[in-house]
């Protein structure tokens, strides 16, 4: 791929991530993305990415490599306690967004995609292939060996919803310079309460 083509792809990814985050995935056309990316050709998005699902997948992959590296770094410290493992879930994504500098759109983009049934599977597939995430979840489950499988599955879903939407809200607040400070710690505290909550028989 030429440098020019790579630069065009990057502009499309940035424009699509922002527009999807601000307006919702299905509300944004390829033409709007092309215009926001400074491209006059109405078919440029389809040419570079094919389907909407592949464009969404490319946006997710643009971020997951950095998040994977940050989680691997945390895992190398040898987490043992529940809060350690929850920190491995939460901190890498927030650290990645903080490193990007404001404004960012990935958290809001992820929240939009997860609420769209036709595209939700893309993010789920991409995150389920993460080796560091698999290790983190295994460590988390080892801390709560008596938790029934159905309760574990439910709390897994609640964790995903809480993390994604809390990050999206914080990202939205960055427009007023709220910053990421304390977000990961507060979210880890909330998740610890969720996972340690008693199970009603």
CATH label of the domain that carries residue 46: 1.10.10
Q: Are residues 130 and 41 in the same domain?
A: no
Note the pTM of the prediction, 2 decimals.
0.90
Domain limits for position 141: 52-196
Q: Are residues 104 and 181 in the same domain?
A: yes
| pLDDT tens figures, 17-59 | 999 999 999 999 999 999 999 988 878 999 999 999 999 999 9
- CB under 8 Å to 46, separation ≥6 — which residues? 30
Cis ω for the linkage preceding 173 (within 30 of 0): no
Q: Are residues 40 and 57 in the same domain?
A: no
| pLDDT tens figures, 138-184 | 999 999 999 999 999 999 999 999 999 999 999 988 865 657 878 99
Q: Are residues 115 and 175 in the same domain?
A: yes
Q: Are residues 76 and 6 in the same domain?
A: no
- CB under 8 Å to 199, separation ≥6 — which residues? 147, 148, 151
| pLDDT tens figures, 73-108 | 999 999 999 999 999 999 999 999 999 988 899 999
Task: Report in angstroms the alpha-carbon separations of 124 from 78, 86, 107, 141, 180.
Answer: 26, 19, 15, 19, 25
Measured distance CA(159)–CA(190) in Å, rounded? 9
Q: Are residues 28 and 73 in the same domain?
A: no
- Structure tokens that stand for 120 in this block: 């939700």
3-class DSSP string for the chain? CCHHHHHHHHHHHHHHHHHHHHHCCCCCCHHHHHHHCCCCCCCHHHHHHCCHHHHHHHHHHHHHHHHHHHHHHHHCCCCCCHHHHHHHHHHHHHHHHHHHCCCCCHHHHHHHHHCCHHHHHHHHHHHHCCHHHHHHHHHHHHHCCCCCHHHHHHHHHHHHHHHHHHHHHHHHHHHHCCCCCCHHHHHHHHHHHHHHCCCCC
Task: Report in angstroms the alpha-carbon separations of 82 from 72, 137, 139, 194.
Answer: 17, 10, 8, 11
Measured distance CA(200)–CA(183) in Å, rounded? 30
| pLDDT tens figures, 124-133 | 888 878 999 9
């Amino acid at each position: 791929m030429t440098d020019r083509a790579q630069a065009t792809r990057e502009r499309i990814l940035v424009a699509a991530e922002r527009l999807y985050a601000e307006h919702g995935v299905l509300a944004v056309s390829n033409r709007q993305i092309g215009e926001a990316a400074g491209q006059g050709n109405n078919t440029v998005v389809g040419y570079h990415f094919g389907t909407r699902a592949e464009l969404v997948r490319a946006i997710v992959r643009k971020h997951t490599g950095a998040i994977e590296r940050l989680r691997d770094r945390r895992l190398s410290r040898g987490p043992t306690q529940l809060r350690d493992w929850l920190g491995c879930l939460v901190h890498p994504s927030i650290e990645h967004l903080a490193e990007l500098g404001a404004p960012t759109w990935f958290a809001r983009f992820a929240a939009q995609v997860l609420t769209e049934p036709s595209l939700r599977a893309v993010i789920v597939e991409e995150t389920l292939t993460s080796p560091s995430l698999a290790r983190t979840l295994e460590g988390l489950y080892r801390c709560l060996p008596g938790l029934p499988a159905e309760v574990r599955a439910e709390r897994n879903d609640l964790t995903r919803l809480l993390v994604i939407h809390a990050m999206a809200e914080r990202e939205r607040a960055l427009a007023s310079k709220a910053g990421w400070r304390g977000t990961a710690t507060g979210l880890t505290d909330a998740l610890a309460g969720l996972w340690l909550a008693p199970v009603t028989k």
